[in-house]
Amino acid sequence: MVELDMTFTGKFSEDCKSIVIDYADSIVRLLYPHKDTQLEIQIKKFYKNRTSAQNRYCHGVMIPTVQAWQKETTGEHSSHDGLYAFFRTHIIGDEVIMEEIDGVDTMVLTGKRFSQCNTVEFAERVDKIIYYYAEKGCVILPPDPKSNNLITDFMKDFSKDIVYCRQCGKAHAGYCSTLKDE
């Protein structure tokens, strides 16, 4: 199963017995495969800042979007860390070098992490990843400077189109290709 590590915004319900995820209907495609999974829930107040927004977009939008797309199209289950390393090495062009630490050869990733990039560098990296996956048929929506850069910010407009299909057992947008035309 794909590693589950997502960040959402939301609020406690009126009786404080549950958490209402903002635009939850829009991300059912990402959540449905984990419907019976026991979760560890960490609660903290939401704060806005540029570095956090960049991290949220990379780790909370791009990676989960690619993971869901891979699972739906190929059945592949790439880890979060694996995709992050793939983005940086294969798409962006950072390198893995060997560095000796305490007498042990250790792999080190060169280049900047997304959170270390200024806005121009970040935009260039994101564009490379979006174009790479667009050529493969995976749509990753670009970051919105007015949003919190959470997956729910990008999927809320599609919530009415995403449905759970009882025929194929998957949640997806639009028409299910497993249904036969009548």
Which amino acid, one-letter code, is at 151? I
Across the chain, mean pLDDT equals: 77
Mean pLDDT across 55-65: 85
Q: How far apart are CA 44 and CA 36, in angstroms?
A: 24
Helices (H), ranges, the chain: 28-31, 50-57, 63-73, 80-86, 119-134, 151-155
User: Looking at domain 10-173, does it have CATH number 1.10.287?
Assistant: no
Q: Please, what is the Cα angle at 105 between 102 and 106, to 5 degrees?
A: 95
pLDDT (mean) for 57-83: 88
- What confidence tier does 179 reach under pLDDT thresholds 50, 70, 90? very low
Could you report the per-residue pLDDT of 106-157, keeping only the tens digit for each? 999 899 888 888 888 988 999 999 999 999 988 888 877 766 666 556 555 5
Candidate ranges 61-75, 76-90, 150-164; pick with highest mean pLDDT:
76-90
**Which ranges constitute the DSSP H helices of 58-161?**
63-73, 80-86, 119-134, 151-155
The pTM of the whole model exceeds 0.95: no
Helix or strand (DSSP H, E) at 92: none
- pLDDT, residue 77, reads 82
More confident residue, 39 or 32: 39
Predicted local distance difference test score (pLDDT) of residue 175: 45
95: number of Cβ within 10 Å? 10
C-alpha to C-alpha distances, 71 to 67, 109, 157, 171, nearest whole angstrom: 6, 27, 22, 12
